[in-house]
Structure 1
């Protein structure tokens, strides 16, 4: 089943969020320290991913073009709008910020090497081990995020499933058309581009610099087109 890994990942996020909502009595200082640790880890992971590129010039081009597209489409504003709608409909008494939880969790869970490589493995080789591992990581992270940011985190399971499931289905269709060398190059450049976005997410978590990371997401598509065109 091509979508098995994506389904388990989404369920992991939902389960982690529900547990996190029960752990809201965790001392605030502990929450802040854990979030700081996550932010530092995310930054390090982003740097490691970004160094996977064979030619970082293409990554820079994809980021510039992708960011222009993202700003034009106002993707970040759209995500916040969805979160605000959910907040109005489902959280009339809570003081938690559903929009912040939804956007933060979505960006953390969607952008990354494991999401891309895991979904490709599911689609190309029916190997779900990477996504199953990611499910455990995302489950723990969603638990921590939910204890701090509230129920908005649970809704990130939807874009995570759609994103990873879409990649898995797409990979399942095209795997017979791409030579192994090109596929390896594509994974490397996607990972590097995603690494820059992950780094930006880390800066946001630590409060060092607030970056509209969602508006950088089109760069993932742009780097894919660049690799396929120049191959």
Structure 2
């Protein structure tokens, strides 16, 4: 139920953005894109700092530096070898050819950017596990409300490709929900913290790309999330 609600809210937000985008100028669309990018940047930054910074004994310290270096270095090597970014682009191109007659400029960029924004993060994992084991879809409903606003702004500024981010969200979260009972023992508190930290940094990369173009191949960095979880499990063993 949680994933269905999340997908429905993404489609609703995209539809609203598509309708609204027809009545706003290019200048306003660009402003919406920059506003969306700013929000994505701070969502990623706040999530990362929340997990990295620890206040204790009257002083502020940081943690996780070694983990993120190893996770991103290893993840980048794996991601580049698999060329995950290109696979996502091909899926976007296939969707564009089927639903936009292959003509809409920026469709693939909109799809990839929106998909990476709404798929990455601890809320997707934790919410799907809660839904699969407890039948509690409240976390995914909250995520869906946030995704609705983000996809609405992205669709208005980047085009209909952003709406199709509902597809990877449905597959990703739906799969985790179905496998929740098998995943639950693995997702310890430490694993979730690492996932949240690395996932938040990836979201920050998406925000950077929205403002400064393809600075990061964010999809090729996705394996860093898996490395981060394995790191936590290894440390706890």
Relative to the length of structure 1, the TM-score reads 0.88
May I ask how many residue pairs the two structures share in their alignment? 224
**Which residue, 91, 108, 130 being the options, matches 1:82?**
91
Consecutive unaligned residues in structure 2, runs of 5 or more = 53-62
Structure 1 residue 214 displacement after superposition: 0.5
Can you list the C-alpha shifts for 1:88-121, whole angstroms capped at 9, x where unaligned? 2322274332211110110010112322332233
Q: Distance between the aligned counterparts of 2:102 and 2:199, measured in 1? A: 36
Show structure 1 runs of 5+ residues with no match.
Answer: none
**In the alignment, is the contact (CA less than 8 A) between 1:14 and 1:154 conserved in 2?**
yes
Whole-angstrom distance in 2 between the partners of 1:21 and 1:32? 15
Residue 14 of structure 1 is aligned with which of 11, 25, 30? 11
Q: Secondary structure at the match of 1:23?
A: helix
* 1:178-212 Cα deviation digits (max 9, x unpaired): 5xxx7111111100000110111110111266211
Equivalences for 1:197-208 in 2 at 5 Å? Answer: 197-207=202-212
Output the aligned Cα RMSD.
2.0
1:195 is the counterpart of 2:200: yes
Counterpart in 2 of 1:37?
A: 35
Asked whether 1:218 is paired with 2:223, we answer yes
Change (3 A) 1:93 1:216: closer
TM-score when normalising by structure 2: 0.86
Superposed displacement of residue 79, structure 1: 0.9
Give the match for residue 55 of structure 1. Answer: 64
Rounded to whole Å, the distance in 2 between the matches of 1:219 and 1:93 is 33
Q: What SS class does the counterpart of residue 3 from structure 2 fall into?
A: helix
Q: After alignment, is 85-94 or 187-196 more displaced?
A: 85-94
